[in-house]
Structure 1
Amino acid sequence: MHTREAAERIEAYAEVGAFISRTAEDSAGPVVAVKDVVDVAGQVTTAGSVVLPAVPAGRDAPVVARIRRAGCAVIGKTNLHELALGPTSENPHFGVVRNPHDRNRVAGGSSGGSAAAVALGMCDWAVGSDTSGSIRIPAALCGVVGVKPTTGTVDVTGTVPVSHTQDTLGPLAPDVATAVRALELMTGVRLAPPARRARNLRLVVPDGWGADLDPPTAEVWVAVTDGLPRIRLPDRDRLVATGSTIVMAEAAARHGRWVSEAPDRLGADVRELLREACTVPRARYVRALFEAGVLRTELAAALSGWDALLVPATRIVAPLVGAPVARGELTDYTRPFSVTGHPVVTLPAPSTGLPVGIQLVGHHGGDEELLGVAAALERAWR
């Protein structure tokens, strides 16, 4: 894709609200959109908020510098949920990111602009960040591929942080092959996912998960997991609570000061979240850090002998803009694998209605093998 073609598509779909700022780059690509938590030289990094200094970044973040050296052009900075602290991308400062499949619905968050840009062909692929599901949720709701690599795989230097122990960067792409190439460019590591056939994969689903899905999501979930064996995982409530405690405590350490210094410049939902985050006791945070290590070991043991675990990405399809949505409806299936740091690929599953995404969870550090599994399932589901 040429940057001129990308710019034309961005203009054509301006009502979706996918971008916060644009660059003036002119190149034959690959054209990449970057979530506005990552520094791009000459662009202000807003993190979707107005509380951060409006000073253009003096240099590219390492991940951006790396993809530029590989010949990529950065078309602009994508919109997101404020401070990357929410799952809908309804942004009070830069506008709602609307779902490409239904403009009355949200794109998901927090990397909503990146997912929408990919879904509408505004770029070849996009950079997103993920702390509790921020790549996987919008990928699921917008019908694109999202990759949360094993935590630590991609350098997060030059990124506005949420949780220094759980923040990750990864690609959103129209298909698995593009996602593989994008991850190669983001890391500088050559990947060679093994060629697999869907019928030979050892896939498994978590026992007791999937009973709380809305009807459209449940229909897809039942169809794609029919006949698959079930295994016992660590308790999901325990996984969610541990991850939430860590993220809240670390987000408060980074952004909690805005509650007292500039409360009127925060969106209402983020302001209330940060107020709550500031009350997390240190002792609970320390216990959660220990528990995260235990959970990582338990999940690794549960996945032994299997190629991948299939898990719903969200409980619901994309909600309507402005509709009250409990955060857990969108995050309770993604947060568990943030706390353990395992790699996850979200794939669009066959659906006759709004997009439904399914997470494929792989072995810790087994990103390459997981991408091979994802490619095989992508072929089978098309």
Structure 2
Amino acid sequence: DAPVVKSIRAHGCVVVGKANLHEFAYGVTSVNPHYGAVRNPHDPSRVAGGSSGGSAVAVAAGMCDWAIGSDTGGSIRVPASLCGVVGFKPALGSIDTAGVIPLSHSLDTLGPMAPDVATAAAAYSMMTGESIALAPVRAPRLGVPAGWVSGLDAETARAWALVSDGIPEVDFPARKELFDVGLTILLVEAAAYHRRWAAECPEKYGADVIGHIRRGLEVLAVDFEAALLALPRLREQAQQAMENIDALVLPATAIVAPAISAGSEVREPLARFTRPFNTTGQPVVALPAPASGLPVGIQVVGRSNAETLAIAAWLEREWRRQA
């Protein structure tokens, strides 16, 4: 067992199965050429999101109390958003990733997926041994990163208008730079891990994943070095931007679950708002917005794991009270 599995077993958890996912956790749809597409429980013609799509569906369908996911560019938060469950990406380094096939060792994070914030917090405690108390909080100081939220589809825009009403915009590092730096690091580190297999048996990979690996092999060393050097600066800027607020609030994805038949055009709008926070390393909870129709997820981006979970629980209660 991986250390995280040993930890949850020690807390009395029973592992009921392994879930399907995007091949090698390298994608945001969980359309898997080997084991089939993970279907969205709200509309089986649509994707569940990825990469941890099977975990999200298992929770949404009531197959388990909670599930483990991994998140390198949104792989917990994207499927949580599309399937209408809670996903928690803890701060980078919070959970031991030993025993997990890596995607990008500089960015990989494990976390729980659950039906509500309280269960996600309890699951996180079992994964780490860290006690998390969802203590009542005063109305938190919230902000929307200025200039970030754009290009939403109609259903996401309606939900976002409802939950963002009255929340001011705040300065935060540019979304594009955070996205591009994280993507460059992921591409190179994933290619390094898969290099031998990609050379010896490329036909065993799905077309999208082998394409990503080959793209990573073409990244220039100077560009990879520049991305690594940018990390501490961007993380410091993100910390400074949080000094006068308790949490950022923004959509988890720009679109609701697309059709399984959709092409590569859905990748960027699904990862647009999640990947930047793998770059900053901040803790993020994705939770369902109070919306009708297909699920829409909202991200709560905080400073510490406990505080982020507490603020997400506060928002969850407020939305239920207003419903």
TM (norm. structure 2) is 0.97
> Which whole-Å CA distance do the structure 1 matches of 2:87 and 2:253 have between them?
13
Given that 2:144 and 2:169 are in contact with CA atoms closer than 8 Å, whether structure 1 keeps it comes out as: yes
The residue type paired with residue 224 of structure 2 is Y
User: How far does the alpha carbon of each residue in 1:217-267 deviate from its partner, in whole angstroms, 9 at most, with x for none?
Assistant: 011111101111111211111111100000001001101222211111110
Aligned partner of 1:137 in structure 2 is 78
User: How far does the alpha carbon of each residue in 1:311-370 deviate from its partner, in whole angstroms, 9 at most, with x for none?
Assistant: 11111000001111421111111000001100000010011110000000001xx11011
* 1:210 Cα deviation from its structure 2 partner: 1.7
Q: Helix, strand or coil for the counterpart of 1:147?
A: strand
Aligned partner of 1:333 in structure 2 is 273
> Which whole-Å CA distance do the structure 2 matches of 1:182 and 1:325 have between them?
33
Give runs of aligned pairs for residues 84-103 of structure 1, distance below 5 A: 84-103=25-44
Larger radius of gyration: 1
> Which whole-Å CA distance do the structure 1 matches of 2:68 and 2:107 have between them?
17
Which of the residues 307, 328, 352 maps onto 2:292? 352
Which of the residues 102, 123, 147 maps onto 1:182? 123
Q: Helix, strand or coil for the counterpart of 1:189?
A: coil
* 1:274 Cα deviation from its structure 2 partner: 0.7
Give runs of aligned pairs for residues 1-382 of structure 1, distance below 5 A: 60-197=1-138, 200-326=139-265, 327-363=267-303, 366-382=304-320
* 1:284 Cα deviation from its structure 2 partner: 1.2
The runs of 5 or more residues in structure 2 that have no matched partner are: none
> Which whole-Å CA distance do the structure 1 matches of 2:276 and 2:36 have between them?
29
Percent identical residues: 55
Q: Helix, strand or coil for the counterpart of 1:105?
A: strand
The residue type paired with residue 275 of structure 2 is R
* 1:194 Cα deviation from its structure 2 partner: 2.5
* 1:378 Cα deviation from its structure 2 partner: 0.5
* 1:215 Cα deviation from its structure 2 partner: 0.9
User: How far does the alpha carbon of each residue in 1:11-40 deviate from its partner, in whole angstroms, 9 at most, with x for none?
Assistant: xxxxxxxxxxxxxxxxxxxxxxxxxxxxxx
* 1:137 Cα deviation from its structure 2 partner: 0.2
* 1:191 Cα deviation from its structure 2 partner: 1.2
> Which whole-Å CA distance do the structure 1 matches of 2:152 and 2:66 have between them?
29
> Which whole-Å CA distance do the structure 2 matches of 1:115 and 1:134 have between them?
10
Given that 2:29 and 2:50 are in contact with CA atoms closer than 8 Å, whether structure 1 keeps it comes out as: yes
Aligned partner of 1:17 in structure 2 is none
Aligned partner of 1:51 in structure 2 is none
Give every structure 1 segment of 4 or more consecutive aligned residues whose post-TM-superposition deviation is greater than 4 Å: none
> Which whole-Å CA distance do the structure 2 matches of 1:370 and 1:250 have between them?
29
Given that 1:210 and 1:221 are in contact with CA atoms closer than 8 Å, whether structure 2 keeps it comes out as: no
Given that 2:287 and 2:299 are in contact with CA atoms closer than 8 Å, whether structure 1 keeps it comes out as: yes
Given that 1:319 and 1:325 are in contact with CA atoms closer than 8 Å, whether structure 2 keeps it comes out as: no
The residue type paired with residue 359 of structure 1 is Q
The residue type paired with residue 349 of structure 1 is A
Given that 1:127 and 1:172 are in contact with CA atoms closer than 8 Å, whether structure 2 keeps it comes out as: yes
> Which whole-Å CA distance do the structure 2 matches of 1:273 and 1:165 have between them?
17
Q: Helix, strand or coil for the counterpart of 2:16?
A: strand
Q: Helix, strand or coil for the counterpart of 2:111?
A: strand
The runs of 5 or more residues in structure 1 that have no matched partner are: 1-59
* 1:206 Cα deviation from its structure 2 partner: 1.1
The residue type paired with residue 68 of structure 1 is R
Given that 1:149 and 1:168 are in contact with CA atoms closer than 8 Å, whether structure 2 keeps it comes out as: yes
